[in-house]
Structure 1
Amino acid sequence: MTITAEERRARILEVVRELGTVRVVDLAERIGTAAVTVRRDVAALADSGALRRSHGAVSLPQEEEAAAIRAGRDRVIGMLVPTIGTYFDEVIDGARSAAAAAGARLVLGIASYESADDRAQVEQLLDTELDGLLLTPNWRPGSTPGDTAWLRELPVPAVLVERLAPADSAAAQLDSVGSDHRHGVLLALRHLQSLGHRSVLLAAREDSWTAHQVRAGYAAAVQLLGLEPRPVIDVHRPSLESEAIAARIAEEVADGVRAVLVHNDQEAIQLTPLLRARGLRAPDDLALISYDDVFAALAAPPLTAVAPPKRAVGAAAVELMLRRIEHGSDLPVHHVQLLPDLKVRTSCGGSPDERPA
């Protein structure tokens, strides 16, 4: 699976933090990337001051190296996520790599989307004597979170991951790191518009924070780009309504729509053969883009997909947590949003080497 330059460079920094001084050729082999690409990334990181180059090898600047070791050594960071096996696997992987590179340990907890009590799960994690907590609360999509005051009363620092609290919430004063999903939707619709589409249909789930952000991003992007608005197809019961959703999409195609954005990969992959059974093939009869890019490349045909920087989100959350532990209230509150990428594949008629403008 192709990774972005941002993710590649984050991985380079992880390896250098783990190994200390490392030759560029060994670094390229370690991360599985061509040496010429790694040399360009190393040059960019060195120009920004993130790395130090010397005689074909790279290392961290002495001050950063000492700070990373000091901040991370023997720290225990808890991480509460709503699920594993899909989107959050990559977030966890990024967090785990960043923690290991800093000499910290990650402890995982799961509070499923069906859970109504994040607080009980957090208290169980706190029993492991954490130094900090990465938290993805089960806030209901489209609604204001309930009581968040307890988050401000936690005995350890907390960083929200893939969540951003409303400005009037007590949790708004917590650090947060997440993907800018609204920007991701804009990338998808802008690319479809560049292919000549004047109307894009959205089929989206309703049961997650990301789904709500995708829906809001769609409404904003349609208006910004001057596209013809279409009613959103609601995915109320994932995997159980695919036949009905395929029928709805076929109706919209008959009405002139030739482009569809589907949240998420699972729904998009299940829809593909159902649409084919109705005589609709991607990309010949309609352009299809998936949101999440967890399994999209494995579909037939491979799906163009919006790819939130999942690993980079996990890594950035750990790095911010270690800075918060070290500096306390002297560090300003950070609300960090990382931009998704668009992976152009077969399903919308673009070349695999094509990139959105």
Structure 2
Amino acid sequence: MTATNPMESVPRGMKFRVLAADLRGQIIEGTLPIGGRLPTEQELAQFHGVGINTVRRAIDLLVEEGLVRRRQGSGTFVTAIPSEATLPRRFVGVLVPSTSYFYPRVIEGIERVLTTAGVRVVLSSSEYDPELEAEQLRHLVDDGVDGLLLVPNLHLVDDPAKHLDHLQNLPVPYILIERQYPNPAPDDTTPYVCTDHLGGSYAAVRHFVNLGHQRTGHLGRIRTGTADLVAEGFARAIQDFGLPTIAGAVERLEEWSGDELAAYARTCKDNGITAVFCLGDRDASTLIVHARRLGLNVPGDLAVIAYDDEVADLGEVPLTAVSPPKSEVGALAAELLLRRLEQGPATPIHQVKLQPRLVIRASCGATSATSATSATSATHGPAPSVP
């Protein structure tokens, strides 16, 4: 028996997979023939310099693959030679803040690409808790995933850059989804795939301007992953298009209650605001209800565009919406991670932004079915095709 992998250089969570690969290779080569007995767990642990638990996890993996069988009191024996069908599949860890709202479509895109490639997805959720995020990340690494697709909770920590710094020490390749370093250095090499949220909100205000609106408001959020970029895009558009600043027109809260939305609708009526850009379909739909109670016609007196397009088409007044390409973001991130797994560290780093689409419906008064198509821009060369 020979050890082909120096365990001292192997990350802790990967050791059992490396040991399993070594034993699997010996079975293929015939060093461990069918019917032959594996060394004892103690012998394997001593020879490879690992713990008994690592040895047991490696053997469990081979048992699951049907290559070996434990016999009580006799040892572990080889029962089959690995074939192409039984060779181990790669595992990719996916860590998102939530498995509901926004992220299901991202996850769908990830799973579509990875499943087609024969890669298993290990899905975890941090539930918008930075401490749980760190714990889940440790579990994924310890479980021996081959790569990671990550959505860190940067909006919930005091120092987002520091929060990301520790990722540089991960033992496996990773790609950020819908996140990137704040104010990155020109030579930043953090791989990511993001929606251009700033560009999406800018496009919404441009559409209002094209429809003749000048007095425009923003009903926004704070402490969400996209809120600051959406607000920044709105503010830049107001400045670039020379629109007036109106008292009370821009309001951002962590959560909007029904009473607060009613008060904002009153602000719109009292200040002659004729267009509102809302972060979130549900808040936009509720705002419309309150506006109509005040006698405002939507879209005649008040045009509304929502950001998200999760349930924008389901209301009594279907919402014009900025629609992030969620599935495409997930699929492209998965594709880029597969490329890194296949080609290794020499693979060029991709930093990709996908432009959201403006979907025109009744709430803004326009009549065309859609406006603008998704476009892709990459800061490090052209983006690969999305399946």
Question: TM-score under structure 1 normalisation?
Answer: 0.74
Q: Does 1:281 align with 2:297?
A: yes
Q: Higher helix fraction: Structure 1 or Structure 2?
A: 1
Q: Which blocks of at least 5 consecutive residues in structure 2 are unaligned?
A: 1-87, 374-387
4+ residue stretches of structure 1 with deviation over 3 A? 114-117, 141-144
Q: Classify 1:87/1:98 alpha carbon distance in 2 versus 1 (closer, same or farther; 3 Å).
A: same
2:336 corresponds to = 320
1:217 to 201, 223, 233: 233
Q: Does 1:346 align with 2:362?
A: yes
State how far apart, in whole Å, the 2-side matches of 1:246 and 1:348 are. 20
1:105 to 120, 130, 135: 120
**Matched position secondary structure for 1:122:** helix
Q: Does 1:232 align with 2:250?
A: yes
User: CA deviation digits over 1:46-93, x for unaligned, max 9?
Assistant: xxxxxxxxxxxxxxxxxxxxxxxxxxx922111111112211111111
Q: Does 1:259 align with 2:275?
A: yes
1:91 corresponds to = 106
**Matched position secondary structure for 1:80:** strand
| 2:336 aligned partner, one-letter code | L
| CA-CA distance at 1:144 after TM superposition | 4.0
Q: Does 1:120 align with 2:138?
A: no
| CA-CA distance at 1:99 after TM superposition | 1.0
2:71 corresponds to = none
| CA-CA distance at 1:354 after TM superposition | 4.9
Alignment RMSD: 2.2
1:76 to 64, 67, 91: 91
| 1:316 aligned partner, one-letter code | L
State how far apart, in whole Å, the 1-side matches of 2:360 and 2:101 are. 21
Q: Does 1:158 align with 2:174?
A: yes
State how far apart, in whole Å, the 1-side matches of 2:119 and 2:289 are. 45
Matches within 5 A, 1:163-312: 163-168=179-184, 172-230=188-246, 231-238=249-256, 241-312=257-328
**Matched position secondary structure for 1:256:** coil
95-104 or 286-295, larger mean C-alpha shift: 95-104
**Matched position secondary structure for 1:173:** coil
State how far apart, in whole Å, the 2-side matches of 1:143 and 1:278 are. 41
| CA-CA distance at 1:209 after TM superposition | 1.7
State how far apart, in whole Å, the 1-side matches of 2:133 and 2:188 are. 17
| 2:243 aligned partner, one-letter code | L
| 1:173 aligned partner, one-letter code | T
254-263 or 97-106, larger mean C-alpha shift: 97-106
* 1:243 and 1:274 in contact (8 A); partners too: no
| CA-CA distance at 1:187 after TM superposition | 1.2
State how far apart, in whole Å, the 2-side matches of 1:356 and 1:192 are. 14
Q: Which blocks of at least 5 consecutive residues in structure 1 are unaligned?
A: 1-72
* 1:141 and 1:206 in contact (8 A); partners too: no
* 1:346 and 1:352 in contact (8 A); partners too: no
- Number of residues paired by the alignment? 283
Q: Does 1:130 align with 2:145?
A: yes
| 1:274 aligned partner, one-letter code | H
333-342 or 269-278, larger mean C-alpha shift: 269-278
* 1:166 and 1:172 in contact (8 A); partners too: no
User: CA deviation digits over 1:200-259, x for unaligned, max 9?
Assistant: 100011021211110111111111222223442112324xx2322332232233212100
* 1:92 and 1:311 in contact (8 A); partners too: yes
Q: Classify 1:343/1:354 alpha carbon distance in 2 versus 1 (closer, same or farther; 3 Å).
A: closer
State how far apart, in whole Å, the 2-side matches of 1:335 and 1:242 are. 39
Q: Classify 1:184/1:284 alpha carbon distance in 2 versus 1 (closer, same or farther; 3 Å).
A: same
**Matched position secondary structure for 2:93:** strand
Structure of greater relative contact order (alpha carbons < 8 Å, 6+ residues apart): 1
State how far apart, in whole Å, the 2-side matches of 1:77 and 1:128 are. 10
State how far apart, in whole Å, the 1-side matches of 2:89 and 2:131 are. 32
| 2:371 aligned partner, one-letter code | R
| CA-CA distance at 1:341 after TM superposition | 0.3
State how far apart, in whole Å, the 2-side matches of 1:89 and 1:267 are. 20
| CA-CA distance at 1:141 after TM superposition | 6.4
State how far apart, in whole Å, the 2-side matches of 1:258 and 1:90 are. 33
291-300 or 122-131, larger mean C-alpha shift: 122-131
**Matched position secondary structure for 1:296:** coil
* 2:96 and 2:151 in contact (8 A); partners too: yes
| 1:74 aligned partner, one-letter code | R
Q: Classify 1:129/1:354 alpha carbon distance in 2 versus 1 (closer, same or farther; 3 Å).
A: closer
State how far apart, in whole Å, the 1-side matches of 2:245 and 2:347 are. 43
| 2:268 aligned partner, one-letter code | E
| 1:98 aligned partner, one-letter code | V
